[in-house]
A and B are shown apart, each in its own frame.
Chain A
Amino acid sequence: MREKRLLLNKIILLLSTLSAIAGMLFLAWILITLFLKGIGSISLSVFTKDLVNGGLKNLIFGQFVMAGLATLIGVPLGVMAGIYLREYGRGRYVNLIRDLSDIMMSAPSIVIGAFVFAFMVVPMGGINGWAGAVALAIMLVPIVVSTTDNMLSLVPKELREAGIALGGGKYRVILDIILRAAKVGLMTGILLAFARIIGETAPLLFTSGTNSFWTTNLNDAFPSLTVSIYNLANFPTDKARDLAWAASFILTVIVLIINLLGRYIIRQRKRK
Chain B
Amino acid sequence: MLNKEFIFKRVAFLSATLILFILIGIFTMLFLQAKPAMQKYGAHFLVEKSWNKTITIKDTNPPKVTKVVKKKKETSASDNDDALFSDDTPVLPGDNEDMQSDDTNAAPVKTDTIFGGYIPIVGTILSSLIAMVFALPLALGIAIFLSEIAPGFLIKPVGISIELLAAIPSIIYGMWGLFYFAPIVQNIFGGSQISLLTAGLVLGVMILPFMAAITRDSMNTTPDVLKESAYALGATKFEVVKDVIFPYAKVGIIGSIILSLGRALGETMAVAFLIGSVFKLPLKLTDPTVSIPVVLANNFGEANDLMMSSLYYLALILFVFSFFVIGFAKFYFLKGRR
So, do A and B actually touch in the complex, CB under 8 Å?
Answer: yes
Contact of B138 among A23, A142, A169, A260 (CB under 8 A): A23
| Interface of chain A, main secondary structure | helix
B5 at the interface (CB under 8 A from A): yes
Q: How many residues of B are in contact with the other chain, CB < 8 A?
A: 91
Contact indicator B208/A111 (Cβ below 8 Å): no
Of A84, A85, A114, A202, most B-chain CB atoms within 10 Å: A114
User: Closest residue of chain A to B236, judged by CB?
Assistant: A9
Query: From residue 238 to 276 of chain B, which have CB atoms closer than 8 A to chain A?
Result: 238-239, 241, 259, 262-263, 265-269, 272-273
CA distance in complex: A162, B265 (Å): 47
Contact indicator B236/A5 (Cβ below 8 Å): yes
Residues of A within 8 A of B16 (CB): 80-81, 84-85, 89, 94, 97, 145
CB distance from B10 to the nearest CB of A (A): 10
0/1 interface trace, chain A 139-174, chain B, CB 8 Å (1 if under):
001100100000000000000000000001111001
Contact indicator B239/A9 (Cβ below 8 Å): yes
Contact of A117 among B1, B209, B297, B300 (CB under 8 A): B300
Contact indicator B301/A206 (Cβ below 8 Å): yes
0/1 interface trace, chain A 88-130, chain B, CB 8 Å (1 if under):
1100001011011111101111111011011100000000000
Contact indicator A111/B26 (Cβ below 8 Å): yes
Contact indicator A23/B208 (Cβ below 8 Å): yes
Contact indicator B11/A108 (Cβ below 8 Å): no
Residues of A within 8 A of B334 (CB): 99
Query: From residue 235 to 272 of chain A, which have CB atoms closer than 8 A to chain B?
Result: 244-245, 248, 251-252, 255-256, 259-260, 263
CB distance from B278 to the nearest CB of A (A): 16
B57 at the interface (CB under 8 A from A): no
A219 at the interface (CB under 8 A from B): no
Known contacts A6-B236, A171-B8; decide if A109 and B18 are in contact (CB<8 Å). Answer: no
Contact indicator A108/B268 (Cβ below 8 Å): yes
CB distance from B166 to the nearest CB of A (A): 9
Contact indicator A114/B300 (Cβ below 8 Å): yes
A13 at the interface (CB under 8 A from B): yes
Contact indicator B237/A20 (Cβ below 8 Å): no
Query: From residue 12 to 38 of chain B, which have CB atoms closer than 8 A to chain A?
Result: 12-20, 22-23, 25-26, 29-30, 32-33
Contact of B19 among A23, A33, A100, A174 (CB under 8 A): A100
Known contacts A20-B158, A141-B19, A145-B19; decide if A110 and B165 are in contact (CB<8 Å). Answer: no
Query: From residue 173 to 193 of chain B, which have CB atoms closer than 8 A to chain A?
Result: 173-176, 178-180
Interface-forming stretch among B48-56, B223-231, B315-323?
B315-323
Query: From residue 108 to 135 of chain B, which have CB atoms closer than 8 A to chain A?
Result: none
User: Closest residue of chain A to B18, judged by CB?
Assistant: A77
B47 at the interface (CB under 8 A from A): no
Contact indicator B160/A84 (Cβ below 8 Å): no
Residues of A within 8 A of B319 (CB): 107-108, 111
Residues of A within 8 A of B137 (CB): 15, 19
Known contacts A16-B145, A19-B142; decide if A199 and B169 are in contact (CB<8 Å). Answer: yes
Residues of B within 8 A of A202 (CB): 170, 268-269, 293, 297
Residues of B within 8 A of A244 (CB): 175
Residues of A within 8 A of B17 (CB): 97
* For the complex of A and B, 5 pairs with smallest distance between CB atoms: A108-B266, A19-B141, A199-B169, A9-B236, A84-B12
Query: Could you tell me which A residues sit within 8 Å of B by CB distance?
Result: 5-6, 8-9, 12-13, 15-20, 22-24, 26-27, 29-30, 33-34, 37, 76-78, 80-81, 83-85, 87-89, 94, 96-97, 99-104, 106-112, 114-115, 117-119, 138, 141-142, 145, 168-171, 174, 195-196, 199-202, 205-206, 226, 229-230, 233, 244-245, 248, 251-252, 255-256, 259-260, 263
Query: Could you tell me which B residues sit within 8 Å of A by CB distance?
Result: 1-2, 4-5, 8-9, 11-20, 22-23, 25-26, 29-30, 32-33, 137-142, 144-146, 148-150, 158, 160-165, 167-176, 178-180, 205, 208-209, 212, 236-239, 241, 259, 262-263, 265-269, 272-273, 293, 296-297, 300-301, 311-312, 315, 318-319, 322-323, 326-327, 330, 334
Q: A23-B209, A100-B19 are in contact. List 19 more A-B contacts (CB 8 A).
A: A13-B149, A22-B138, A26-B165, A26-B205, A27-B168, A30-B165, A80-B16, A102-B330, A103-B326, A103-B330, A107-B326, A118-B32, A141-B22, A201-B171, A201-B269, A233-B175, A255-B169, A259-B164, A259-B167
29 A-B interface contacts by CB (under 8 A): A8-B236, A8-B238, A9-B237, A19-B145, A20-B141, A20-B142, A22-B138, A24-B161, A34-B172, A34-B176, A80-B14, A81-B16, A84-B13, A94-B16, A97-B19, A99-B327, A103-B327, A108-B268, A108-B322, A114-B300, A145-B19, A169-B2, A171-B4, A248-B171, A248-B175, A255-B167, A256-B168, A259-B167, A260-B164
